[in-house]
Amino acid sequence: MSNSVTTPGIRHGRLPAELYASHFDDLYPVYDPHEAMVAADRCYFCHDAPCITACPTEIDIPLFIRQIQAGQPEAAARTIFDQNILGGTCARVCPTETLCEGACVREAAEGKPVEIGRLQRYATDALMARQGHPYARADSTGKRVAVVGAGPAGLACAHRLAMHGHEVTIHEAEAKPGGLNEYGIAAYKMAGGFAAREVEWLMGIGGITLETGKALGRDLSLDQLQAGFDAVFLGIGLGDVNRLDIPGENLDGVRDAVEFIAELRQTEDLSRLPIGRDVVVIGGGMTAVDAAVQSKLLGAEHVSMLYRRGREAMSASDHEIEHAATEGVTIITNATPVAIHGQGAVAEVEFAYTDGTGENFRLRADQVFKAIGQKLAGMDGLTMEGRKLAAQPAAGVWAGGDCTGGGEDLTVTAVAQGRDAAAEIHAYLTGNGG
C-alpha cells in the first residue's frame, strides 16, 4: 500500500462521502415475496431441464423454483443447500448468464431467462435468516480430517464431512475465513459482510474447528498433516500472481489487482482508500472487471481495461463486460503491454496492437492494476500438473478449487469439487471405496 500513498495522482476522498455507500451497495435489489412469485411463474419446469446440467453443483432448479411458487422459500433453500452449501454466495456471484440462465429455455425462446440467481438468493436468504442450522451431524466417527484453506472448496468439503460425523480442522492462512468470497470478489456483489455471515452460518453445524494464520509451506507441512489426521483436503487457492515481465513493472503505482480488491474488501471507510485519476487495468477476466469497475466507483476519472486478444476470448462474461462499460470503463482489446514508463512512479503505459499492424500507443496512468492470472508455487510433497495441483496429489490427500485444474476458477466449481471430494474422503475413511 505504501506506493499508493506516495505516488502523485493517487489520493483518497475523490467522491463526496455519501456516495461511497450507494456505489458499493448490492448490485441488484432483493426480491420481495410478490416479485419472487412472479419470477417463479415464468419457469416452464422442464422435465429434462438444461439449467440443471449447466449448474456445476447440479441443483434441481425447477424443483426449488416450484417450491418458491408454492410459497415455500425455506424448502427451496434446502433443495439448493443439499447440493451447494454456499448457495447464498453463488446466488450473488455466479455468472448465471453463462451457466443456468444461459441454458434456460426462455433465454433461447425470448432472450429473457428466468432470473434463477435472484430466485436462489431469495430462497437462501430466507433460510439463513432463521435461528439454528438446517443440517444435523451424524454420530461421531472418531475420524479427523484436515482441510487447508477456508475458501469455497474447503468450506464445502468441511461442511459435508462434518455432516458425516467426522471432526474437521480448517487451517486458513489469512486472518479471516472465506477465501475469495471474503477477499477477492467485488464489494457490490457481496455487500453487507455477507461472506463472514455465511461462514458463521455454515460452521453452525458443529464439528468444525477453524485455525487462522496457518499457511501450508510456512506454518504447516503436508507430512505433518498426514501424520496428524486421517485424511487431508487441500483447497489452498492460487496465492502467486503472474508477472508482466516488461520494463517499468516495479514502478510505484503498479500493483496486483487481487491485492487491490482484497484491500478494498477489508477497508471499513472507502473514502480513505486512495485511487488514481487515470487507472489502467491489464487483463480480461473477472478480476480485471472487478478492479476496473471498483476503481470507477471509488472516483477514478478515467479507467481503461486492456486485453491482448479479442473480446470473444475474454474470460469475463459478456454481462460483466457490458456492466463495466456501463460504469464508464473503456475496454480496449487486441493490445498487449510492452513497457510502463515513469520516473519513479508510473506515468504512462505503452501497448502494442496484436492484430498485426505493428503499431504502439500509450495511455496516461498514475495507477496500474495487473490482472493477468494467478498460479500456485510448488511445495514439497505436492504433485503438480503444470501450474496447479493434481486432483489427488498424494495418498490420503485430496485437492479442489482454484488450486487444481479442470475448472473455470469459479466459486460454484470450487464448491462442487469440495463437496465431491468430501464424498470420496468419507468413503475412504469408512472403507467403502478407499
Q: What is the mean pLDDT of residues 357-369?
A: 95
Chain segment 95-148, per-residue pLDDT in tens = 999 999 999 999 999 999 999 999 999 999 999 999 899 999 999 999 999 999
**In a domain? residue 11:** no
Which of 128, 154, 187 is at the close of a domain? Answer: 128
- DSSP H stretches of helix in 204-317: 222-228, 257-266, 286-297
State the pLDDT at residue 377: 76
284: domain CATH number is 3.50.50.60
Residues 193 and 88 in one domain: no
Residues 228 and 309 in one domain: no
Residues 348 and 423 in one domain: no
Residue 361: give the domain boundaries: 241-373
Query: What are the cell numbers at 94?
Result: 455466479
> Could you count the other beta carbons within 10 Å of the beta carbon of residue 341?
14
**In a domain? residue 353:** yes
What does DSSP assign to residue 398?
Answer: E
Q: What is the mean pLDDT of residues 290-304?
A: 98
Residues 85 and 182 in one domain: no
State the pLDDT at residue 62: 98
Residues 260 and 365 in one domain: yes
The overall average pLDDT reported for the chain is: 94
Residues 277 and 358 in one domain: yes
Residues 253 and 343 in one domain: yes
pLDDT range class, residue 48, cuts 50, 70, 90: very high
Q: What does pTM read for this prediction? A: 0.94
State the pLDDT at residue 407: 59
Residues 90 and 176 in one domain: no
Comparing 391 with 195, the larger pLDDT belongs to: 195
Residues 200 and 111 in one domain: no
Q: What is the mean pLDDT of residues 405-429?
A: 91
Spatial contact of 231 and 148, defined as CB atoms under 8 Å apart:
no
Q: Is the model's pLDDT at 422 over the cut of 90?
A: yes
Burial class (CB within 10 angstroms; exposed 0-12, middle 13-18, buried 19+) of 30: exposed
Q: Is the model's pLDDT at 222 over the cut of 90?
A: yes
Into how many domains does the chain fold?
A: 3
State the pLDDT at residue 358: 84
For 107, 327, 336, 362, 385, the CA distances from 359, given in Å and listed in that order, are 41, 29, 11, 11, 37
Q: Is the model's pLDDT at 299 over the cut of 80?
A: yes
Phi first, then psi, for residue 186 (nearest 5°) are -50, 140
Chain segment 387-403, per-residue pLDDT in tens = 788 878 888 999 999 99
* E-strand stretches of 247-383: 254-256, 275-276, 278-282, 302-306, 330-332, 335-341, 348-353, 360-364, 367-370, 374-375
Spatial contact of 119 and 40, defined as CB atoms under 8 Å apart:
yes
Give the containing element (helix H, strand E) for 384: strand 384-385
Q: What is the mean pLDDT of residues 64-77?
A: 98
Task: Please give the single-letter amino acid code of residue 111.
Answer: G
